[in-house]
Amino acid sequence: MSTPFINFIDLTEDVEVENETPAPQTNGFINVKSLTPPIENPEKNENSEKSENSENIQPENGTFSTNLVVSPSLPIKRKSSEYEQPRASPVLPRTPTPKSVSVVVPTPSLSLDQYLKVEPELTGLSETFYPTKSVQQAEVSMRRYPRQRTSKRSFVPLSANLGDRPRPEPSNEDLETIQRASLTRGLARLEASGTDIRFNIDKENLFLLAASNFGFIQDYILREGVERVPEEFNAGCECPGGVCDPTRCNCLMEEEHTDEKIVPYQLNKRALQPDFLGRTSMIYECNHRCSCQARCWFNVTQRGRNFQPEIFHTGNRGFGLRSFDNIQVGEFIDYYLGEVLTQEEANYREDDQQVSYLFSLDFIPEQDSATQKDYYVVDGRKFGNVTRFMNHSCNPNCKIKPVSIDHADDHIYYLAFFALRDIPAGEELTFDYNPGFNKKEKKAAGAVKCLCGDAKCRGQLWPNARKQQNRSPADDSA
């Protein structure tokens, strides 16, 4: 409902109005007029005040000059003389008809009065009865939202009364048709995006199962609670001439005890330095804020992979990844992509996953234990790229390395795979899921059995999933 406007007209100018009792208007504008004659001389005017409320007052020529316009709901603006006590008036000649008039302030009608006293309307969305914001904020702070959203629909009872009618179960043929349609759509999207990925689908039904619930992505998907460092905190180098100088580029880290720059890549080879493969350091690449931009030879992973990948079925370890081309030692394979989650959400998802696709982003350069606990996790189960199909081997041919592009962001960086040795076309690409494995460790109860088949196989993939590694002694004694 709109608030009625109240016009307060300026009183300094005389305005001619019709000779009729001013009435409140009902179109939302309320003009209530107090009429006094034009002041010809002070005496005359005084006379007019004395005749206030006189019923005999008639306009002479049908027009009055308005000196005052007031609102019924606002304090009436009167001349100070109007508040004076009536004085004993001398007898005045009645001709000509005096031009004085009384102040006419019409009382608003009952209906208008109600209209003016409008209470704020209460609706079903009123914060008084449904405090949405506070409830939602509380739920988010209690981390309830993600759980509720991911609840299994099939476990939620139907509220509709279906009577005794049995719910039709989809047949295997129906499911296969749905999966096939989904896979066909997914592959068509991939093809349209110009991908070079090949699928060796000899176990078509299994592949349908895996691929129908998976989407290929080009970059991380950040989920609730995950934030990048704001753009303004990131910086680039200012190497002159468009190509970085490895002795001076600001993007490169320095060795701990010397001023020497750590150069991760071989010049013009798009491959890691052989000695860098054995290091645990983060790789810092140039980025779009650097003066060198795309031509820089430090931008290796950002230019993408250099071979044609194939997803195939391994037989005993689900799907795996291999290459149609030979790969050289140090060559970039691809990033491990997926949804980036908070640890809490990752723990929750891990309970739900039999096969793990979770990867912690816990390579924090500064060894501050407080910061180390505060890391994100990448989940490649539903969204990812070809590396999501890479299996574990106790004698792997690839290695994962952290790559930083936004240097100010210690928490969101890329996990990049590089070839540990020359890999001939067709050989499965693998990496060690648990590189920190201590050979003296006993096989953990519940550990996933390793089927890599290597002569030096350790017998297990990882102790028992990612969460186990984060357990405190207190958890174990509980």
Residues contributing to the site for ligand SAM (CB under 6 A): 210, 317-319, 355-357, 388-389, 391-392, 448, 450-452, 461
The one catalytic residue among 220, 265, 335, 336: 336
Query: Is 433 annotated in the active site?
Result: yes
Minimum distance, C-beta of residue 377 to ligand SAM, in the bound complex (Å): 14
Give whichever of 32 and 452 is closer to ligand SAM, judged by the CB atom: 452
Q: Which two tokens stand for residue 212?
A: 């129908």
Q: What is d(CA 374, CA 235) in angstroms, rounded to the nearest whole number? A: 23
Residue 340's nearest CA partner among 433, 416, 214, 227 is 227
Q: What is the spatial distance between Cα 413 and Cα 361, in angstroms, rounded to a whole number?
A: 7
Q: Closest CB to ligand SAM belongs to which residue?
A: 318
Whether the bond between 146 and the residue before it is cis, its omega within 30 degrees of 0, is: no
Nearer to ligand SAM, 230 or 446 (CB): 446
Instruction: Give min distance, CB of 360 to ligand SAM, in A.
Output: 14
Q: Can you say whether residue 318 is alpha, beta or left, with left for phi > 0 and alpha for psi between -120 and 50 degrees?
A: left
Q: How far is the CB of 161 from ligand SAM (least distance, A)?
A: 41
**What's the N-to-C CA distance of the chain in angstroms?**
62
Q: Catalytic one among 220, 265, 413, 433?
A: 433
Q: Are 78 and 122 in contact (CB under 8 A)?
A: no
Helix, strand or coil for residue 360? strand
**CB closer to ligand SAM, 73 vs 195:** 195
Q: Whose CA is closest to 190, among 214, 209, 169, 208?
A: 214
Give the nearest distance from C-beta 214 to ligand SAM in angstroms.
8
Q: Is 348 among the residues known to form the active site? A: no
Name the minimum Å distance from CB 416 to ligand SAM.
16
Task: Let me know: does 401 contact 302? Beta carbons within 8 Å.
Answer: no
- Give 375's contacts (C-beta < 8 A, 6+ positions apart): 343, 360, 361, 362, 364, 411
Q: Which residues lie across from 335 on neighbouring strands?
A: 416
Cβ-based nearer residue to ligand SAM, 47 or 393:
393
Residue 391: count of CB within 10 angstroms of its CB: 21
Whichever of 21 and 354 has its CB closer to ligand SAM, that residue is 354
Contact 316, 280 (CB under 8 A): no
The least distance separating ligand SAM from the CB of residue 193, rounded to whole angstroms, comes to 21
Q: How far apart are CA 143 and CA 375, in angstroms?
A: 17
In the complex, the smallest distance separating the C-beta of residue 120 from ligand SAM, rounded to whole angstroms, is 57
Beta bridge partners of residue 221, listed in sequence order: 339
CA distance 183 to 177: 10
Nearer to ligand SAM, 287 or 356 (CB): 356
> Cα angle at 332 between 330 and 307, to 5 degrees?
110
Q: Which residues on neighbouring strands pair with residue 310, listed in sequence order?
A: 198, 322
Nearer to ligand SAM, 115 or 199 (CB): 199
Give the residue numbers marked as catalytic.
336, 433
